[in-house]
Amino acid sequence: MFAAAAEQDIQVAQNIGFGIVAAIMIFAALKVVTSKNVVHAALSLVAVMSGAAAQYLLLSAEFVAVTQVLVYVGAVMVLFLFGVMLTRAKLGRETDLNNRGYKMAVPVALLMLGVMSWVLIDGFEDTRLPEDRGQVPLIAVSDSIFKPYLLPFWALSFVLLAAVIGAIVLARKD
């Protein structure tokens, strides 16, 4: 009884943290898709990415969280801001960011959300994450990358090489 209550207390702290971060993420994601200002949308995307890194920490995957901050918040967002700067002169509000029939996307997204929520709630009713999982050891992650998933790793390095060369070829002026 008391052990269960103590467990509940620990989970209360985690759940409150999860709820706050999740609310911030959902709000910022809505800002990304509804904002009239492209730069504001990019900055809201930073909030979503950082919140996702916090959720990865809650899921005890700290290496992925650090990589998320480095790659997404550091590199990808700089790319996005460069894209915004290089493709439009003005940085203020704009009126012409949505398609004509964009309201049709609302029922599509809501329908998809309804079906997915129903399936998830039906399938995983009250499955709990294990309480005593420690941090994922980095040795285990690297063993997983370099032993069973070595071939995808090689393929991925070729993908990155091709992407770098392709981006240079596409974007250079001549």
Partner 1 sequence: MLINNFLLLGAVLFCIGVYGVIARKNAVLVLMSIELILNSVNINLLAFDAMNGNVDGNTFALYIIAVAAAEVGVGLAMVLLIYRNRKSIALDELSEMKG
Residues 13-42 that bind partner 1 (CB under 8 A): 14-15, 18, 22, 25-26, 29-30, 32-33, 38, 41-42
Which listed residue (6, 20, 93, 117) binds partner 1 by CB under 8 A? 117
The answer to whether 33 touches 50, Cβ cutoff 8 Å, is: no
Residues 70-99 that bind partner 1 (CB under 8 A): 71-72, 75-76, 79-80, 82-84, 86-88, 96-99
Pick the closest to residue 145 from 134, 154, 136 (CA basis).
154
Residue 154 lies near partner 1 (rule: CB under 8 A): no
Residue 54 lies near partner 1 (rule: CB under 8 A): no
Q: What amino acid occupies position 90?
A: K
Residue 164 lies near partner 1 (rule: CB under 8 A): yes
DSSP three-state, residue 130: coil
Residue 61 lies near partner 1 (rule: CB under 8 A): yes
Within 8 A by CB and 6+ apart from 131, the residues are 7, 10
The answer to whether 81 touches 42, Cβ cutoff 8 Å, is: yes
Which listed residue (67, 91, 93, 154) binds partner 1 by CB under 8 A? 67
